[in-house]
Amino acid sequence: RAGGAAMEPECRVLSIQSHVVRGYVGNKAATFPLQVLGFEVDTVNSVQFSNHTGYAHWKGQVLNSDELHELYEGLKLNKVNRYDYVLTGYTRDTSFLAMVVDIVQELKQQNSDLVYVCDPVMGDKWNGEGSMYVPKDLLPVYRDKVVPVADIITPNQFEAELLTGRKIYTEKDALEVMDMLHAMGPETVVITSSDLQAPLGNDYLIALGSHRKTKADGTRITQRIRVESPKVDAVFVGTGDLFAAMLLAWTHKHPNNLKVACEKTVSAMQHVLQRTIKSAKVQAGEGNKPNSAQLELRMVQSKKDIENPEIIVKATVL
């Protein structure tokens, strides 16, 4: 267009995640931020539940791998199966996960530049003890099939340990685990949370990132960063889904600067979580603990912060 800024080429994401009628997890947590940041998002809802399973009650339906395949076939028949990104999160079923891998591989044949962003959701640590909250047979599928086709992965510390079979006690361990994960396939690895001691103190949570690029002459350069963000005292659901979606967006906008991408992602997270906890406390009333419904992420209210996050968390290059 004469005189105008050049239009950004359309960027399309296939997001295969859970859907909830009420609240923000899975696709509900990922779609809005991606759209706000200018992406076309095509969503496959791996489940449709009334709400997330942290509530006292939930009801709904689960999509099986054949049904996933059928939806993909429909896209293919119309020749609209060209994507720039695929995004996946929480899955409980091995055959569903295997089908996702098949679809990603086929989409990569369509577009060799496709980037697969995978949050390998398997479990977490509570008081230092790790436990899986998906069936154990998902681990070998993630390790042997999914991670090798992924380009960006966002495990927490426990998931990074599961995938590599190696425990993390120090930052040096974590960097070596990230190298092991690179060796399995992904060029960007972000350990989204860890129980490592933060230089800023106990009120901070450490995330670590590593970006490995192979230059045209075959030399490898690795950028590694540490991000310390203030702990927020509440149990939120959907934060990992929001994190992965925003990391997808910001790494797209800053392809060779993991530092800036992580600063924007983590800063936006902080804005959303601070707004959510403040609002939840008001709803719960003085001295009461907010419940699941009150702790739903304040997504729509945070539109401006998601679109243009004020950097309140800095990353350190290691």
Walk me through the domains of the chain, giving residue ranges and CATH numbers.
12-284+297-317 (3.40.1190.20)
Contact by Cβ (8 Å): 153, 189: yes
The tokens for 142 are 């993630």
Confidence of residue 1 (pLDDT cuts 50, 70, 90): very low
Residue among 133, 198, 130, 222 at smallest CA distance from 167: 130
Q: Which residue has the higher pLDDT, 5 or 159?
A: 159
Please count the other Cβ atoms lying within 10 Å of the Cβ belonging to residue 64.
Answer: 14
User: Whole-model pTM?
Assistant: 0.95
Confidence of residue 233 (pLDDT cuts 50, 70, 90): confident
Tell me the per-residue pLDDT of 74-130, one tens digit each, with 9 for 90 and over. 999 999 999 999 999 999 999 999 999 999 999 999 999 999 999 999 999 988 889
Cα–Cα distance for residue pair 282/294, rounded to 1 Å: 9
233 catalytically annotated: no
Please determine, for residue 284, whether its predicted confidence score (pLDDT) is greater than 80.
Answer: yes
Using DSSP, state whether 191 is helix, strand or coil.
strand
Q: How many residues does the chain have?
A: 318
CB-based burial, 97-123: b 16+ in 10 Å, e otherwise: bebbbebbeebbeeeeebbbbbbbbbb
Q: What is the pLDDT of residue 127?
A: 81
Q: What is the pLDDT of residue 172?
A: 97
Contact by Cβ (8 Å): 117, 154: yes
Tell me the per-residue pLDDT of 5-47, one tens digit each, with 9 for 90 and over. 566 789 999 999 999 999 999 999 999 999 999 999 999 999 9
Residue among 121, 184, 197, 118 at smallest CA distance from 156: 121
Options 84, 93, 151, 241, the catalytic residue? 241
Q: Which residue has the higher pLDDT, 128 or 150?
A: 150
Please count the other Cβ atoms lying within 10 Å of the Cβ belonging to residue 149.
Answer: 18
The tokens for 15 are 């997001």
Supply φ then ψ for residue 2, to 5 degrees: -65, 130
